[in-house]
């Protein structure tokens, strides 16, 4: 009896070990890509990254300005640029060139400057509006308590006189900036962890938002959903591209209908972008997939394994103190 128990115990251990072994994306052919040295990324947000020397990577490229020590880039729009530290201190550079310092109760994790107001989202999932003229909070609210978040936190998004606030608990709170009253709340997903909004934008007249668990579109035709474990979401032209944690890339229209799909088996994307109609998606091992938007052609470039943050800025991929120019890389 003991021998039988021992035998099945060994078999069970072997099965569990086999199932638990990690599998990696292994393309048959790879190509080389040259890189150059640059500063290491110390933090990143949805719309930018901060280098160790204080320089900022925006979507357009490296800025010449440097943020203060202990501060990190949050967002930059036509209203101005926002940096913040972990103590609730915020430094703003308004579109007029005026610099302003404000103090909030908790660390700011997302924000957008709209005219003379800062629409903010704090670490404790409270959100509101700070009047930069009177230096007062004119609206404040608090969403559900959260225990874990994805670091790619979307920033508030303005639509005419409304602002859509992407909470850390998977809900969109739509605030009327004229009346300072909530006009609507929309749940994207209701998972218990890592459920913050990581993507928020508009596709025509359709509002599109995503958490790490679901993408939704919302319009006068109603709400549509696309469920997937998500690594990244990119808007390009009239399509939405969803990069899944199982290596699947899906092209969707505004109704969440799948137009094209391609699976790169065992790929786990750490960063993705679309530049000049080419899809770039990097696996955590440093394998960079370059594809056409129809997902019918691709090449894979072999870069060193990624150990830290990675971000795409001004047509270049930044990671581990290096940068790679994406333009010369092709799927042909």
Q: Residue 171 belongs to what domain range? A: 47-197
- Per-residue pLDDT of 282-312, as tens digits, reads 998 999 999 999 999 999 999 877 888 899 9
- What pLDDT is stored for residue 21 in this prediction? 58
Quick one: 181 and 298 in the same domain?
A: no
Spatial CB neighbours of 120, under 8 Å, sequence gap ≥ 6: 104, 108, 110, 111, 127, 128, 129, 130, 156
Give the domain CATH number at 246. Answer: 2.130.10.10
pTM > 0.85: yes or no: yes
Quick one: 35 and 65 in the same domain?
A: no
Quick one: 185 and 221 in the same domain?
A: no
CA dihedral 319, 323, 328, 332 (to 10 degrees): -20
Average pLDDT of the residues in 4-21:
46
| 327 alpha carbon, distance to own chain's centre | 22
**CB atoms near residue 168 (< 10 Å):** 28
Q: Which of 176, 197, 218 is the last residue of a domain?
A: 197
Q: Is residue 262 part of a domain?
A: yes
Q: Two tokens at 199? A: 């993507």
Report the domain count for the chain.
2
Residue 18 has pLDDT above 60, yes or no: no
Q: Compute the Cα dihedral for 58, 61, 65, 67 and give only its sign.
A: positive
């Amino acid at each position: 009896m003991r021998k039988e128990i021992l035998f099945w115990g060994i078999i069970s251990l072997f099965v569990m070990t086999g199932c638990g072994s990690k599998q990696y994306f292994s393309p048959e052919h790879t190509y080389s890509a040259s890189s150059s040295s640059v500063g290491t990324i110390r933090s990143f947000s949805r719309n930018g990254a901060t280098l160790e020397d204080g320089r900022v990577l925006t979507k357009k490229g490296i800025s010449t300005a440097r943020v203060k020590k202990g501060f990190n880039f949050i967002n930059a729009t036509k209203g101005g640029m926002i940096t913040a530290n972990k103590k609730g201190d915020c430094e703003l550079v308004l579109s007029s060139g005026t610099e302003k310092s404000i103090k909030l109760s908790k660390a700011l994790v997302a924000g957008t400057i709209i005219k003379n107001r800062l629409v903010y989202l704090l670490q404790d999932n409270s959100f509101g509006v700070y009047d930069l003229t009177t230096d007062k909070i004119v609206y404040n609210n608090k969403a559900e308590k959260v225990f874990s978040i994805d670091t790619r936190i979307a920033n508030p998004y303005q639509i005419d006189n409304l602002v859509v606030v992407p909470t850390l608990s998977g809900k969109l709170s739509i605030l009327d900036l004229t009346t300072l009253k909530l006009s609507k709340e929309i749940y994207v997903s209701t998972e218990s962890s890592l459920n913050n909004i990581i993507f928020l934008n508009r596709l025509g007249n359709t509002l599109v938002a995503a958490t790490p668990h679901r993408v939704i579109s919302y319009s006068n035709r109603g709400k549509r959903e696309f469920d997937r474990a998500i690594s990244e979401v990119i808007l390009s032209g009239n399509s939405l591209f969803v990069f899944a944690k199982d290596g699947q890339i899906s092209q969707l229209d505004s109704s969440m209908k799948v137009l094209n799909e391609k699976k790169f088996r065992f790929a786990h994307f750490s960063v993705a972008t679309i530049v000049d109609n080419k899809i770039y998606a990097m696996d955590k091992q440093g394998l960079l997939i370059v594809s056409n938007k129809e997902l019918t052609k691709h090449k894979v470039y072999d870069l060193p394994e990624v150990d830290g943050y990675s971000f795409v800025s001004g047509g270049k991929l930044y990671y581990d103190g290096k940068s790679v120019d994406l333009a010369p890389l092709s799927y042909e």
